[in-house]
Structure 1
């Protein structure tokens, strides 16, 4: 059976120029059905995996999102078809945490999941408590009311790499560097959309400045805007504002690989065996969202957003102290030294399309 490097070499040999846009490489490295990091099925998270997420900290993250979903349901007049919609549900742990925290309220739960191996893992955990659709396109016909959530989703979308050459931006492509290695080389843009997006990039940078353009993220938020539901959209991820994203201190870009809780920039090594991820440009995401009718409700560091989200619950405790496990989870999610500063949350208001 072919390995992922061999699949890449075969595809390189089949292209007239002998090179591939990095977005195509990242797509294969993460989502190839047999050799991609995520393609073969859910990965282990937490201490036994390659990285931690807010979900792997414990069920508190799901409890807070359940409380926020109930608020949205009530604000909409408690419609019967109100549906919590999750994309990027991994093994279904967040869905289980949210559903467990709904306190008997039987709200509908829908997972957007194209990979049958993930659906199988999610069904094993969740049974008949959820339903599935394969893509956001299915949401164009319903439900009419909803709360959409995702945790660490856009950062794993395949990105194009571009580099400032002193006079113009150029795209980075993968090509072979001998029989056992690959390298990145510059070339003209691979598509018209990328050329248009590059016009919005700064031009006062030092030659060699490299960054990512996440066309998939922009297409994704447009698809969400066209979904039939009205309600709210919650996005939690690690990312930056545009000024931070383009800063000289990030002249090598934000693309990184994660393996066994170690992060580095060797993104062409062990392709398919490690996670590839980028910080998302929240400024650009919000611009595109608002251009398609979504309204920014809240955008802040995760610690602040979750802290505000937790206030009604904390007040309801009436002086009772949190148990040690819940306190550790709350600190991990909100403290600036942990996930509170490294992650950001964006809440968007969505009217009917």
Structure 2
């Protein structure tokens, strides 16, 4: 049976130029149906996995999102077709936490999931409490009211890498050096959309400054903007503003690999065995969202935004503090030294469709 490096070497050999854009390599490494890090099915998250997420902290994250969704439903007049829509649901843990918090409410839950292995894992956990569609295109016909959410989704989209050579931006391609190793080599941009993106990048950076261009994220937000539902869109992820990407301290880019809670920049090593992730450019995401009819409702560090979302929950406790486990979760999600500063949250609004 072929390994992922063998499959990649075969693709490089078949390429007329003998090289591939990093975006194609990253897609193989993460989503190859047999050898990709995510393609074979849900990975373990938390202490037993390669990384932590807000979901692995405990059920409080889902509870806060459930309360936010209820407020959204009530603000829209409690429509019967109001639906929570999640993409990037992994093994269904966040959906379960949200549904448990919504016990007894009439709200529907829908998961966007193209991978049958993930749908199978989600069904084992959730049963008939949710429905599924394979793509965002299915949302063009309904529901008409909803609340969309995703946690750490765009950071795992395949990205193109570009590097400033002192005179112009070049794309970084992957090639083999004739041994078992892979390496980067610069060249002209591989597509017109990438050429258009680099035209807007600064030209006063140090030679060698590397950036990620997430074309897949732009395609995704355009598809989401075509959905029929009116309501909020909640996006939580690692990310930066455009100016932060251009800081000298990030001249190597933000693309990293994760394995057993260890992080480094050796992104061409152990392909398929490690998670590959990159910070998303929230400035560019917001710009593209607004160009396609979505509006920005809130954008802030996760700690601040979740703190505001928790206000009504905290008030409902009537002076009785939460149990120790819940307080640890709240602290992990919101404290600047933990997840409160490293993650950012964006809430967009999808307008009523004509």
TM-score (norm. length: structure 2) = 0.99
Distance 2:273 2:246 in 1: 29
C-alpha distance in structure 2 between counterparts of 1:258 and 1:249, whole Å: 20
Q: Deviations over 1:34-79 (max 9, x none)?
A: 0000000000000000000000000000000000000110111100
**2:39 is matched with which residue?**
39
Q: What's the secondary structure of 1:74's corresponding residue?
A: helix
Q: Where do 4+ consecutive residues of structure 1 move more than 6 Å?
A: none
Give 1:253's aligned residue.
253
1:131 corresponding residue in structure 2: 131
Residue equivalent to 2:15: 15
What's the counterpart of residue 67 of structure 2? 67
Count of residue pairs the alignment pairs up: 353
TM superposition score normalised by structure 1? 0.99
User: In structure 2, how many angstroms separate the alpha carbons of the residues matched to 1:179 and 1:266?
Assistant: 17
Matches within 5 A, 1:85-164: 85-164=85-164
Q: Aligned residue for 2:267?
A: 267
Q: Deviations over 1:234-286 (max 9, x none)?
A: 00001001111111110000000000000000001000000000000001100
Q: State the match for 1:79 in structure 2.
A: 79
1:287 paired residue number: 287
2: distance between equivalents of 1:55 and 1:271?
26
Counterpart secondary structure, 1:46 = coil
What's the CA shift for 1:18?
0.2
Q: Secondary structure at the match of 2:166?
A: coil
Tell me, in whole angstroms, the C-alpha distance in 2 between the residues paired with 1:151 and 1:284: 18
1:29 alignment counterpart: 29
What are the superposed Cα offsets for residues 74-126 of structure 1, whole Å, 9 maximum, x if unpaired? 11110000000000000000000000001310211000000000000000000
1:352 and 1:106 map into 2 onto residues whose CA distance is: 21
Mapped to 1, the partners of 2:201 and 2:129 lie a distance apart of: 45
Give matches, 1:165-314, under 5 Å.
165-314=165-314
Are 2:7 and 1:4 equivalent residues in the alignment?
no
Q: Cα offset for 1:178?
A: 2.3
Q: Matches of 2:246 and 2:40 in 1, distance apart?
A: 34
Measure, in 1, the Cα distance between the counterparts of 2:230 and 2:159.
29
> Distance in 2 between the 1:314 and 1:326 partners?
11
Distance in 2, matches of 1:59 and 1:309, equals: 15
Aligned residue for 2:50?
50
- 2:341 counterpart residue number: 341
